[in-house]
Amino acid sequence: MNYCWISRRPSIPSRTAASLLPGIHQMNIPLEVSFKDWNVTPLELFYICCFARSISPRSVFEFGTFDGGTTLHLARSCPQAEVHTLDLPNPESHFRVGERFLNTAEAGRIRSIRADSRTFDFAQFKGRMELIFIDAGHDYDCVAADTKNALLMAAPNATILWHDYLSFGGVKKAVDEVARTQPVVHLMGTEIAVLQLGNHRRTSTDQGSSNGYLNDQLGNWLQSDQ
């Protein structure tokens, strides 16, 4: 994966976790953290699990299994869900795909797909996925293709999360394109972009938390000060 550091300013609105996730203050998520390059950060993992808890999806799709750390936490955060996770048949050799969930209690609910996301046929999952996490290839063509397929697989109330929104030009370009027509936001303090479709869509004023509203105002103020 080639790193291509770009502007760290989001072009989409930044939102606090509290404004996107009503109930986050009551969430207590046990994490098994062991960090490798390419993993999401522990804070991002916590927020991803909070989305999973709050949505309680029956079907989850992850683009980019890597060592399976995020997959395992997704499966633990939604015990009712089948978690589909996709990675290349022969990825770079410094990791074993899905090693973190092998021989775990969750392994039976995790469906590992080995294919190139740019050529895989997603039709079987059309309209079924309630939570989708995109973190596979980071060049524009790959993220744009994964995003198109995520929107195809998305259930009406789905949440779609993209990782590396701020550090990869290809990710940012593809996400910003979606944001022209959909209410995509940046999750403050992270590299995550969020699209909450249908009834999951929240604004700072419709989730009944004045803290969420105030935090958003604080976030806007901090951004304008950069």
The contact set with ligand SAM (CB under 6 A) reads 38-40, 64-67, 69-70, 86-88, 91, 116-118, 135-137, 142
Q: In the complex, what is the shortest distance from the CB of residue 204 to ligand SAM, in angstroms, rounded to a whole number?
A: 28
C-beta closer to ligand SAM: residue 106 or 216: 106
C-beta closer to ligand SAM: residue 122 or 202: 122
The residue type at 62: E
- Rounded CA-CA distance 223/226 in Å is 5
Q: Please list the alpha-helical segments (H only) found in 42-189.
A: 42-55, 69-77, 140-153, 169-179
Q: Which helix (H) or strand (E) holds 86?
A: strand 82-87
Q: In the complex, what is the shortest distance from the CB of residue 118 to ligand SAM, in angstroms, rounded to a whole number?
A: 5
Residue 43 class from Cβ within 10 Å (0-12 exposed, 13-18 middle, 19+ buried)? middle
C-beta closer to ligand SAM: residue 103 or 210: 103
Q: In the complex, what is the shortest distance from the CB of residue 125 to ligand SAM, in angstroms, rounded to a whole number?
A: 15
CA angle at residue 48 from 80 to 21, to 5 degrees? Answer: 90
Q: In the complex, what is the shortest distance from the CB of residue 181 to ligand SAM, in angstroms, rounded to a whole number?
A: 25
Q: In the complex, what is the shortest distance from the CB of residue 68 to ligand SAM, in angstroms, rounded to a whole number?
A: 7
C-beta closer to ligand SAM: residue 38 or 213: 38
C-beta closer to ligand SAM: residue 167 or 207: 167
Contact between residue 60 and residue 74 where contact means Cβ atoms under 8 Å apart? yes
What is the DSSP code string of 148-181? Answer: HHHHHHEEEEEEEEES-TTT-HHHHHHHHHHHTT
**Token pair for 5:** 């550091």
Q: In the complex, what is the shortest distance from the CB of residue 167 to ligand SAM, in angstroms, rounded to a whole number?
A: 11
C-beta closer to ligand SAM: residue 11 or 34: 34
> Where are any strands of DSSP class E within 1-52?
14-15
**Token pair for 145:** 């293709």
